[in-house]
Amino acid sequence: MAKLKLGILISGRGSNLAALITACEQINFPAEIVLVLSNRENAQGLNRAKTANIPTQVITHAEFSDRKAFDSALTEALEHAGVELICLAGFMRLLGNDFVARWTDKIINIHPSLLPAFRGLHVHERAIKAGVRLSGCTVHYVRSEVDDGPIIIQAAVPVLTDDDEVRLAARILQSEHQIYPEAVRLIATGQAHPHGDIVKLTACDSAEATLINPSIKGK
Ligand code: GRF
């Protein structure tokens, strides 16, 4: 079966990109990366893509008079590469409504919180301040509001008493690297698809374990 063609949009480090590259290198994985696009020429993720022989392109927003022109250049590059699903992976530019409409149900994003809690920036700091016992990460379809859209997959990660934002971010990032490839696999195999405001799953839900923090085991 033909593999789903992915375009990955990055602005920085690219560790989620690396997780997707690793997944796509598995022979049975149902997707392949056809383009990595960055809006910053010094994004570390570009090197990860080049090492894996994946085509890269830099489109810097400063080159364009407005967001619409920048977004059109992105669409042109993505269409030219034959991209079927866009994965935002630490892409730090807001995308305009026209772009989102052009790619409806064809853009997904990863966010380091259990949405709809903690949209936006500084999420780990805000989660710690709010005193939540569980945080985590979410892969969702992109809609015109930031960090909003039908949820595909989530991982819950305990917030520990001695966590600071760096430690919490690092633990959540490990889960991000697990769920982003899984979200792509679910979409590529038709096991997850958007239906209005939610995603319909034909994959197995997990009833394996309820995560409780603090633990009540052995009490
Ligand atoms: C991740 O925490 C992701 O959830 C957020 O931006 C960060 C990107 O990290 N959207 P990386 O560039 O994938 O390492």
User: How does DSSP assign 146-166, residue by residue?
Assistant: TT-S-EEEEEEEEPPTT--HH
Q: Which amino acid is at 186?
A: L
Indicate if the pLDDT at residue 17 is higher than 90.
Answer: yes
Q: Is 42 exposed, middle or buried (0-12, 13-18, 19+ CB in 10 A)?
A: exposed
- Which of 10, 16, 147, 175 for a ligand 1 pocket mutation test, highest count of atoms within 8 Å of Cβ? 16
Sequential DSSP letters for 19-83: HHHHHHTSTT-SEEEEEEEESSTT-HHHHHHHHTT--EEE--GGGSSSHHHHHHHHHHHHHHTT-
Residue 25 is predicted with a pLDDT of 98
d(CA 83, CA 49): 16
pLDDT (average), residues 145-162: 96
Position 177 pLDDT exceeds 80: yes
pLDDT of residue 203: 76
Nearest CA to ligand 1 atom 2: 112
Inter-residue contact 40 to 60 (CB < 8 Å)? yes
Domains of the chain: 1-103 (3.40.50.170), 109-204 (3.40.50.170)
Name the percent of the chain in helix, strand, coil, to the closest 5.
35, 25, 45
Does residue 217 surpass a pLDDT of 90?
no
98 CA → ligand 1 middle, Å: 24
User: What is the pLDDT, as a whole number, of residue 15?
Assistant: 98
Q: Cβ(6)–Cβ(85) under 8 Å?
A: yes
* Rounded-to-integer distance, Cα 205 and Cα 86, Å: 25
Distance from the CA of 200 to the center of ligand 1, in angstroms? 25
State residue 204's pLDDT score: 78
Which residue minimizes the CA distance to atom 7 of ligand 1?
Answer: 90
**Residue 21 pLDDT > 90, yes or no?**
yes
**Residue 209 has what pLDDT?**
73
Q: Specify the range with the lowest mean pLDDT, choosing from 43-52, 97-106, 176-185, 199-208.
A: 199-208
Section 120-139 average pLDDT = 98
Other C-beta atoms closer than 10 Å to the C-beta of 171 total: 16
Q: What is the pTM of this model?
A: 0.96
Q: Average pLDDT, whole number, for the chain? A: 96
Q: Residue type at 129?
A: K
Note the residue count of the chain: 219
Is residue 216 over pLDDT 80?
A: yes
Q: What residues flank ligand 1, with Cβ below 6 Å?
A: 12-17, 45, 89-90, 110-112, 173, 176
pLDDT at 132: 98
Pocket test for ligand 1, best of 110, 123, 152 (most atoms within 8 A of CB): 110
| Residue 49 near residue 36, CB atoms below 8 Å | yes
Query: Which pLDDT band holds residue 186 (cuts at 50, 70, 90)?
Result: very high
193 in catalytic set: no
Tens digits of residue pLDDT in 194-213: 999 999 999 777 777 789 99
Q: What are phi and psi of 84, to 5 degrees?
A: -110, -25
The closest-lying atom of ligand 1 relative to the alpha carbon of residue 16 is 13
Q: Which of 104, 97, 213, 99 is nearest to 163 (CA)?
A: 213
> Quick one: what percent of the chain has pLDDT higher than 90?
92
- pLDDT of 214 reads 93
